Amino acid sequence: MNLTVSPHARDFGAAITGVDLSKPLEAEVTDEIRALWLRHQVIYFPDQPLDHPQLAAFTRAFGTFGIEPYVQVMDDHDHIIEVRREPDEKISPFGASWHSDWSFQNSPPAATILHSKITPPVGGETWYADGYAAYDALEEDERTELESYVALHSARRPYSPQGFFASGGSERSMTILPSEKAHDIQEHPLIRSHPETGRRALWVNSVYTIAIKDMDDAQSRSRLKRLFAHSIEDRFIYRHRWASDMLIMWDNRCVQHCAQGGYDGHRRVMHRTTVAGDAPYLDAATVI
pLDDT at 285: 43
Q: Residue 161 and residue 113: Cα distance in Å, rounded? A: 27
pLDDT at 169: 79
| Domains of the chain, start order | 4-275 (3.60.130.10)
Backbone torsions φ then ψ of 189, nearest 5 degrees: -65, 145
To the question of pTM greater than 0.85 for the whole model, the response is: yes
Query: Roughly how many angstroms between the first and final C-alpha of the chain, as a whole number?
Result: 42
Dihedral, 279, 149, 187, 238 alpha carbons, nearest 10: -60
3-state secondary structure of 92: coil
- Residues with pLDDT less than 70, the chain: 1, 284-288
Question: What percent of the chain stands above pLDDT 70?
Answer: 98
pLDDT at 1: 63
Dihedral, 36, 13, 256, 199 alpha carbons, nearest 10: 50
Length of the chain: 288
